[in-house]
Structure 1
Amino acid sequence: MKLFYLFIAALLISANIHAQTGRDVHGTVTDSTKVTLPGSIVRLITATDSISTATDAKGAFLFKGVKAAQFSLVVQSIGFEPVRKRIALNNSNEPVFLRPIILKPSSQMLKEVTISDVLPVKIKEDTVEFNAAAYKVRDGAPIEDVIKKVPGADVDANGNVTFQGKSVTKVRVNGKDFFGGDLKTATQNLPADAVQNVQFVNDYGDQANLTGIKTGEPETVLNINIKASRNHGIFGQVSAGGGQDAIPQVDGTKDAARYIAQGNMFNFDGNRQIAILANYNNTNTNLFNFGGPGGGGGRGGAGGPPGSGNSTNGITTARSIGVNYRDNWSKKLTVYGSYSFTDNTVNTISSTIQKNYGLSGTNATSSTNNEIDKKINQRFTFNMEYRPDTLNYFKISPSYSFAGVHSTQAETFNQTIADTTALAYTTNVISRSSSPNYGINVLYNHRFNNHGRNFSINVGVGRSTTDQYQNPDNIYSKITSAPNTPADQFITTNANTDTVGTFVSYIEPIGKKSYFEVNYNYKHSYTTSNKVTDTLSDSGQLNEYALLSNDYNYTFVTNRFGLNYRFVEKKYNYVLGVTAQPSVLDGSSPNISPTHKTSFNFSPNAHFIYNFSRTQSFSANFSGSSVMPSYTQLQPVPDLSNALYPVIGNPNLNPQYNNTLSLRYNHFNFESGNVFFSNLSFIQADNYIASNTIYYPDNYTPNTHLSKTTGTSYANANGYYSTSAFFVFAKPWEKRKYNLFLVGNYSYSNNISYITDIAPVTFAENTEKNVAKTLTASQGIRFRLDITDVIDAEANTTYSINSSQNSIPQAGVLDNYRSWVVGLNGKNYLFKDWTYSYDYSKTFYYNYPGAKNPNVFNTYLERRFLKGNMATLRFSVLDVFNQNTGYSSTQTGSYTSTTNYNRLGRYYLLTFTYRFSKMAGKAPERGPGRGFGPPGGGPGGPPPGGGPD
């Protein structure tokens, strides 16, 4: 009997030991369609404790060593209703595998549930999405401050954004173009607390979004989605400030007053969105960009310090206003568009030193330039998307832009050969130009009843016009021989380019998962340019100077035929195809015989995407494209607007054809929070349009206007290729309070150019091909410290090299150019309502001639007050050390050039900002045709079901 009791006691002790050891609890989280939900927060709650974890890339979670037999699980995921489950287990120590926990989509924003952390990154086929709530910023800060924190994104001193090493070219709000895609209208004016998430999209165009057939190289587009709670109401801010220069500016002005006034207002009511922006300042703060990728120069806006645009060359007085509008006029018709206007005056003072390398020697030029440009720019864009039914889709997009410039310029040149001044002169130029451009684009898509059958056509027409007048008044001195150009030239140029193009695509399903596409692309471009040069006779009469006048017209026509096969699986899809492109280039001028050039290019194209999960993807893209020579590269008459550097085009050029391969890999790890983004690209060019630098001797009798000049012409060449790579690795700790970033940018190019020396007496030409093998590498390290309402700071350093070796030894020594930048920027939050901001950088240049090593330090102290911190008073000091300088350097196989520019020096600014907000909290009652959220299918706005699934 004793043995029996001992045996029972042993079993009880053993069971108690097992119970104390605990068991592993496994589970998965899915939606109602059984798709797993990575990044969901799962909390295990017992009577005495609670622990949390996040689901992995497969939606799975694990709790190790659970001792309690009864506990609760609370599961939360963004966009889904939270779930609480009560779990009761037996006393076994075996691992437990729970049934999948299913979450239902949320019908409204979660208000009562507090989530300790959010999923910061989602990776889709062509989109990387960042949850704005995961990157904390101060109340009232612009969304630009969030973008600065996301892995893979970089915001430069002028507010231009790159992602994974590529420039962001366009911005959208809720999937629709915002202010014509002008980047900083959104990033520097939309408050971060109004934004749900930001998405970086590899966009292949509207037609690709409709059909699913993606070919060619995409552009990088930023899409900003507004919170539902901020999509009904009015919000915005106004700022006004004044200050004083601390020192005389480079342009000679002393004790100049600095001022800034700007404001923005957003009126959102679901699909109806109105935004108004305005700006008036003399602190280099540009509101819009006309002509550059993604955004304009200068900084400022909602949360950046007004007037901090002292990283822009020159000194600008800017006057800008713009309005953006979007609405659903009915259930079937969506409209959106914008109008932007600027009136800017820019004073730029620069000095340039250029050393030219010839086959038999070198020459050098130095120049100084003082230029005042008065610029008027306008831009109007409008889009109408019409969906008469579920099968048909129309998009009509008219556009208009205007650029007008009135310039006065005073420039001095000095040319030296063998340390002897060969030519020196001054030029006073008055020029005026106006360039209206207008066009319309029409897109139609029809989806047949049969699954995946699709027809699409895109037609566009446009005209760009340039009318220009230029009066260069040249005054020569220290001349070793007679001037090579008339002293007074009056140049009038009238140019027009008319384009018409169409792209047609038809898709036929050949299985449940495969599709066949045939497409055709036609483009016709006709350019006319009439340049008349008049000179001033001794009697004061203007006479046409035929040798410097030109009437050149050319037509470029391409026909592109494509066949593509697309296969779609749940985790991957791909497109395989071939492209054939014949092209014709015809040129004519009274001064030369007509030219007729034909070419034919054939290349495969491929697009492949593999989605490992919502946090990991790989893509590959290969495509071919034709590059048309520009007017400057084609026109055959010497352009002597710059008497020392004439340009002579080559009308016999063939179009260049580029073959491009790009690879991308993105990965976000839920457990560690680590982020790794990378891309690699390779470009190879046939008939590469290479520059030919020509050194003309003194008394060049075939054309005396070219004597003692360094001319530029162009020729086709083979052998060009380039490759580039980018990566970023981000390591966070403590829910992104601490972040370490490693960022690398690398490129290598095999560049082709020509150098031609002409003998002094015989004028025999000696031309040699130069191959410049250039390596550029940039490695950066950033460490961020982000403690909400305490500190938001970053220390960074970047080391860069630029090394080039030329096949022609005389082409200059271009090796071992290096730079090192160290910086510290951030904001310290003091006494709840005070903010101290600092932005310091130190640049070290090595082997860059004429470069300084500036310390640039901008700082401000800010106090917020009134109810809800609606008002802010800020005192700023810009360029504390007064070392802000503009510098650029160019190295090629035929010359090196360095330029220093004036910039806005040290000044003080006191600014008052008032923010206002009146939100409805929910969608008010509305009539037919009004709904919530962007219509269509997200960025790019294709209609639902517009392409094959």
Structure 2
Amino acid sequence: MKQAYFFLTFILLLSIRTYAQTGRDVHGTVTDSTKLTLPGSTVKLLTATDSITTVTDAKGAFVFPGVKATQFSLVIQSIGFDPVRRRITLDNTNQPVFLRPIILKTSTTMLNTVVIADALPIKVKEDTIEFNAAAYPVRDGAPIEDVIRKVPGADVDASGNITFQGKSVTKVRVNGKDFFGGDLKTATQNLPADAVQNVQFVNDYGDQANLTGIKSGDPETILNINIKPSRNHGYFGQVSAGDGADAIPQVAGTKDADRYIAQGNLFNFNGDQQIAVLANLNNTNTSLFNFGGPGGRQGGGGPGSSATNNGITTQRSIGLNYRDSWGKKITVYGSYSFSDNTVNTISTTIQNNISLSNPTTNTQTSNETDRKVNHRFTFNMEYKPDTVNYLKISPSFSYAGVHTIQTGSNILARTDTALTLTDYSYNSLVHSSSPNYGLNVLYNHRFNGHGRNFSVNLGAGRSETDQYQNPVYNYISGNPNAPLNQYITTDSHTDTVSTYISYIEPIAKHSYLELNYNYKHSNTVADKETDTLSTDGSINMYPLLSNDYTYNFIINRVGLNYRFIQKKYNYVLGVTGQSALLEGSSLDSAPTHLTSYNFSPNAHFVYNISRTQTFSANYSGASNQPTYSELQPVTDFSSALYPVTGNPDLKPEYNNTFSVRYNNFDFTSGNVFFSNMSFVQTDNKIVANTITYPKKYTLNNKLAGTIATDYLNAPGYYSASAFYVFAKPWEKRKYNLFFVGNASYTNNISYISNVDSTNYRETTEKNIAKTLVLSQGIRFRVDITDIIDAEASSTYTVNSSQNSISQSGIQDNFRSLVLGLNGKNYIWNNWTYSYDYTKTLYYGYKGATNPNIFNTYVERRFLKGNMATLRLSAMDVFNQNTGYTNTQNGSYTTQTNANRLGRYYLLTFTYRFRKTAGTAPKMGPGPGGMGPPPGGGFGGPPPGGGPSVD
């Protein structure tokens, strides 16, 4: 019997020892005080001899498998919450342990006692996706643009333009306020990444929607950059200067040109007061501001990057951005930007014109030099006298002046027989100036109720255009149609006033009614005079090409919306009725008076599936008025081969837009999936009616042998697009695999007319151009800090169009395959070798080459703190930088080849400087002392103060 007891005791001790070796699973959940789970929280288990860290999943749950200890501590932290430390004691059973939910309280001070094991890379919110800059490390001194290149769903092209989830980013803000009027590259290419806390991509519905919460229409995609609190006081910036030369002349028959660049930026912050100054001078196609003209990019944290824009640009620019708080109630911010650019573009365009019986191909060569001068001034004043009133006043001014000299030739031939119809050369001089003035006032009042709100937005502005054109034609074959020497003067201005009024009334705890009214009135006055040069040298007015035209466009729009809000979801359902009036008068035509009425629902729905998943859908309707050139009933012969005549009887378009978005981020795996889809259907689409006139057309000699255009309203237009990105990271994002896809389909409408050469009867047929664009890309990135940062990529794109009017010999299927390898290798701590190789394979382009573009540089950092950099760059090493683009619509297809900046070398010196502090230096006790500024400044700490972390 004793042997049996001894045997049982031995078995029990063995089982206990065996359990101690295998351990048990410890499960838990992290929530906030409202019992909402907190995915992405960091949980660390500490024993006397070891520690292990994990992250909560999408449901806020965590598990530690095989825990052997019976006593341990848990340290739990989540961004925005106070950390918690719990002491846990377990019994000696072998059952899994399920802890009670661990509740975190919202933090009022910044964390500085707990070390985060891994930066939380992404936060998915209702209309915002936030990326932590620390999760995407780059080299010291690199611009924030290099961080954006790494985030899933974002794409930065060679010119520095950014798309996110397939949509163009239209504006940039810094700490929630417009930076340099929203000019994107001023921030992304000049702000150093080490000064940035995070970047946010925001679907923005406008200031008024942000105040009222009633969202409708198609949102803008805005980039908001938040600065670290440690950069709140002090200054930082850099200056660069570089010199080099072309390897071969950019233009045949000319000498090699010197290449140079000089630029600098300075950011000076003192709490709420922030000043930024930018300047740039170069002839390397690198732009500082975007005024709608060509621009380049400067990557890699310094000058000397490849320029892949059409033409060769000499650029001079400077800008100032200012922000400050005038007392406790007024915040002001604004900017001034100036640029003076000269661009030379040499291009060849092949245009295939669709026709019922006379298909033609026009081959155009052009050498164009543009001198562009731009000014832009923006200013905003926000006044908050108390917690219920808000006033924002925003005056603005811009000026665009262009002086163009162009020479070229046109050869028009039959597509089927290659018979030349017209052959002429031309010289053209164009000078235009366009000042624009605007004022916007937004007022919002929140009543002392639960959501009752009133807001009004008033706007007024004037845009002017003064233009002088002097086209001169020299016909080699074919009969002249347009006057051989024209002097065209156009003076026009448009005055616009508008108002948007919104009133919101709560009808239950979670629901509201909104009544809104929108009024817009634009008045356009245009005076166009065309003079011609007679054989005796006198200048005479040409009445058939001159006109005074005035038109008014008035919109009255009334809407009623119902809004319902819950934690998991919210939605807006509404109806909108809109009337539009278009009336015009001209010297030589009867007055027009057109009215239209549109009625449409609108809806906005957001479902927060979890803290890491959101789904949203949006539907809206909006009108689009015809332009001045589409309305004016006078022929424009500034292009002799393609005269244009407006139609004063056009109705405004009405667009119905439906879109959906789905965003998902898995905290456990780090996988990212973003997607969106949109569909647009247009009533009364304004389309071109292309009329091909025979070479012998005696009814109007000026139209003989031309391809004229006028405009009509047409039904049947719609378009659809879709985008997705899937990102799979490994080893804390050291390795990333991206799949990115785009698709778009357009059902375009146009009318093709042909005039018979015998009886001059006009035959018109509707052409439906179905255009499909598909693009699929794959990228693999390796990112090991201070060792390598490289990416291999491949993108295949198909651009295909089918016309209901079949045309033989016209290319309508363009394809391209782009293979790329770019990266930086960091050697011996202070050396960097950078490479950027792209191989493009074109299919379907006439005469296209398949260029190899290779840009490279070697860089050395030196001086204290690596403040200085010396870089030797070689751009377009193989000298094959060529650009091909194609355009397709219902009337024609085009292929364009333009010159680009070729091979050159550049040696650049860059010096960075920095002196910052998290809080203002104290000046002793008493009224003269300076403490931490209030929150909301440029990277200022939140209310309550606390230390800051860089």
TM bin, normalised by shorter chain, reads over 0.9
After TM superposition, the structure 1 = structure 2 runs for residues 817-832 of structure 1, keeping only pairs within 5 Å, are 817-832=814-829
| Corresponding residue to 2:298 among 300, 306, 319 | 300
Q: Structure 1 residues 68 and 286 mapped into 2: Cα distance closer, same or farther (>3 Å)? A: same
Please give the per-residue CA displacement for 1:658-689, whole angstroms capped at 9, x wherever unaligned. Answer: 11110000000011100000001111111111
Cα deviation, residue 811, structure 1 = 7.5
| Corresponding residue to 1:873 among 861, 866, 870 | 870
Which residue does the alignment assign to 2:682?
685
| Corresponding residue to 2:936 among 915, 930, 934 | 934
Structure 1 position 513 matched with structure 2 position 510: yes
Cα deviation, residue 5, structure 1 = 4.9
Contact 1:109 1:228 (8 Å CA) reproduced: no
What is the CA–CA distance in structure 2 between the aligned matches of 1:809 and 1:561, rounded to whole Å?
A: 45
Structure 1 position 232 matched with structure 2 position 233: yes
Structure 1 position 386 matched with structure 2 position 387: no
Cα deviation, residue 348, structure 1 = 1.0
What is the CA–CA distance in structure 2 between the aligned matches of 1:415 and 1:805, rounded to whole Å?
A: 23
Which residue does the alignment assign to 2:457?
458
**Paired residue type of 1:650:** N
After TM superposition, the structure 1 = structure 2 runs for residues 392-471 of structure 1, keeping only pairs within 5 Å, are 392-417=389-414, 418-471=417-470
Which residue does the alignment assign to 1:787?
784
| Corresponding residue to 2:852 among 840, 855, 878 | 855
Cα deviation, residue 374, structure 1 = 1.0
Q: Structure 1 residues 927 and 663 mapped into 2: Cα distance closer, same or farther (>3 Å)? A: farther
Contact 1:811 1:893 (8 Å CA) reproduced: no
**Paired residue type of 2:296:** G
Which residue does the alignment assign to 2:559?
562
What is the CA–CA distance in structure 1 between the aligned matches of 2:15 and 2:788, rounded to whole Å?
A: 53
Which residue does the alignment assign to 2:169?
168
Cα deviation, residue 113, structure 1 = 3.7
What is the CA–CA distance in structure 1 between the aligned matches of 2:453 and 2:904, rounded to whole Å?
A: 60
Q: Select between 918-927 and 450-459 the one with higher mean Cα deviation.
A: 918-927
After TM superposition, the structure 1 = structure 2 runs for residues 477-492 of structure 1, keeping only pairs within 5 Å, are 477-479=476-478, 481=479, 483-492=480-489
After TM superposition, the structure 1 = structure 2 runs for residues 625-774 of structure 1, keeping only pairs within 5 Å, are 625-774=622-771
What is the CA–CA distance in structure 1 between the aligned matches of 2:407 and 2:712, rounded to whole Å?
A: 33
**Paired residue type of 2:819:** V
Cα deviation, residue 148, structure 1 = 0.3
| Corresponding residue to 2:535 among 534, 538, 560 | 538
Contact 2:234 2:916 (8 Å CA) reproduced: yes
- SS at structure 1 position matched to 2:250: coil
Q: Select between 413-422 and 347-356 the one with higher mean Cα deviation.
A: 413-422
What is the CA–CA distance in structure 2 between the aligned matches of 1:811 and 1:910, rounded to whole Å?
A: 52
What is the CA–CA distance in structure 2 between the aligned matches of 1:12 and 1:421, rounded to whole Å?
A: 103
**Paired residue type of 2:162:** V
Alignment RMSD, CA only?
1.9
- Alignment TM-score, normalising by the size of structure 2: 0.96
Please give the per-residue CA displacement for 1:624-678, whole angstroms capped at 9, x wherever unaligned. Answer: 1111111111111111100001111111111111111100000000111000000
After TM superposition, the structure 1 = structure 2 runs for residues 284-433 of structure 1, keeping only pairs within 5 Å, are 284-291=285-292, 297-300=295-298, 303-417=300-414, 418-433=417-432
Contact 1:329 1:929 (8 Å CA) reproduced: no
**Paired residue type of 1:298:** G
What is the CA–CA distance in structure 1 between the aligned matches of 2:83 and 2:194, rounded to whole Å?
A: 23
Which residue does the alignment assign to 1:198?
199
Cα deviation, residue 928, structure 1 = 9.7
Q: Select between 108-117 and 377-386 the one with higher mean Cα deviation.
A: 108-117
Q: Select between 810-819 and 47-56 the one with higher mean Cα deviation.
A: 810-819
What is the CA–CA distance in structure 1 between the aligned matches of 2:46 and 2:810, rounded to whole Å?
A: 69
Please give the per-residue CA displacement for 1:481-539, whole angstroms capped at 9, x wherever unaligned. Answer: 3x212211111100101111000000000001000001001110111111100112233
Cα deviation, residue 288, structure 1 = 0.2
Contact 1:123 1:614 (8 Å CA) reproduced: yes
| Corresponding residue to 2:593 among 592, 596, 608 | 596
Which residue does the alignment assign to 2:260?
259
- SS at structure 1 position matched to 2:327: coil
Listed as ranges, the gaps of 5+ residues in structure 2 are 923-927, 941-950
**Paired residue type of 1:310:** A
- SS at structure 2 position matched to 1:36: coil
Which residue does the alignment assign to 2:224?
223
What is the CA–CA distance in structure 2 between the aligned matches of 1:452 and 1:82, rounded to whole Å?
A: 34
What is the CA–CA distance in structure 2 between the aligned matches of 1:147 and 1:176, rounded to whole Å?
A: 19
Q: Select between 847-856 and 836-845 the one with higher mean Cα deviation.
A: 847-856
What is the CA–CA distance in structure 1 between the aligned matches of 2:623 and 2:929, rounded to whole Å?
A: 50
Which residue does the alignment assign to 1:212?
213
Contact 1:330 1:928 (8 Å CA) reproduced: no
Q: Structure 1 residues 507 and 935 mapped into 2: Cα distance closer, same or farther (>3 Å)? A: farther
Cα deviation, residue 124, structure 1 = 0.4
**Paired residue type of 1:329:** W
Cα deviation, residue 891, structure 1 = 2.5
Q: Structure 1 residues 151 and 553 mapped into 2: Cα distance closer, same or farther (>3 Å)? A: same
Which residue does the alignment assign to 1:25?
26
What is the CA–CA distance in structure 2 between the aligned matches of 1:553 and 1:202, rounded to whole Å?
A: 37
Contact 2:231 2:939 (8 Å CA) reproduced: no
After TM superposition, the structure 1 = structure 2 runs for residues 829-840 of structure 1, keeping only pairs within 5 Å, are 829-840=826-837
What is the CA–CA distance in structure 1 between the aligned matches of 2:931 and 2:384, rounded to whole Å?
A: 12
Contact 2:671 2:727 (8 Å CA) reproduced: yes
**Paired residue type of 2:297:** R
- SS at structure 1 position matched to 2:645: coil
After TM superposition, the structure 1 = structure 2 runs for residues 32-181 of structure 1, keeping only pairs within 5 Å, are 32-111=33-112, 113-181=114-182
What is the CA–CA distance in structure 2 between the aligned matches of 1:519 and 1:122, rounded to whole Å?
A: 33
Cα deviation, residue 427, structure 1 = 1.6
Please give the per-residue CA displacement for 1:119-157, whole angstroms capped at 9, x wherever unaligned. Answer: 101000000000000001000000000000000000000
Contact 1:814 1:891 (8 Å CA) reproduced: no
Contact 1:328 1:929 (8 Å CA) reproduced: no
Contact 1:325 1:336 (8 Å CA) reproduced: yes
What is the CA–CA distance in structure 1 between the aligned matches of 2:393 and 2:19, rounded to whole Å?
A: 71
Which residue does the alignment assign to 1:553?
550
Cα deviation, residue 702, structure 1 = 3.5
- Alignment TM-score, normalising by the size of structure 1: 0.96
What is the CA–CA distance in structure 2 between the aligned matches of 1:316 and 1:809, rounded to whole Å?
A: 41
- SS at structure 2 position matched to 1:180: helix
Which residue does the alignment assign to 1:585?
582
Q: Select between 530-539 and 864-873 the one with higher mean Cα deviation.
A: 530-539
Q: Select between 111-120 and 226-235 the one with higher mean Cα deviation.
A: 111-120
Please give the per-residue CA displacement for 1:389-415, whole angstroms capped at 9, x wherever unaligned. Answer: 111000000000000111111122222
What is the CA–CA distance in structure 1 between the aligned matches of 2:493 and 2:737, rounded to whole Å?
A: 52
- SS at structure 1 position matched to 2:702: helix
Q: Structure 1 residues 615 and 281 mapped into 2: Cα distance closer, same or farther (>3 Å)? A: same
- SS at structure 1 position matched to 2:298: coil
Identical counterparts, % of pairs: 70
Structure 1 segments of 4 or more deviating over 6 A? 926-930, 935-938
Which residue does the alignment assign to 2:944?
none
Q: Structure 1 residues 937 and 345 mapped into 2: Cα distance closer, same or farther (>3 Å)? A: closer
Cα deviation, residue 923, structure 1 = 3.4
What is the CA–CA distance in structure 2 between the aligned matches of 1:253 and 1:42, rounded to whole Å?
A: 67
**Paired residue type of 1:176:** K
Which residue does the alignment assign to 1:943?
none
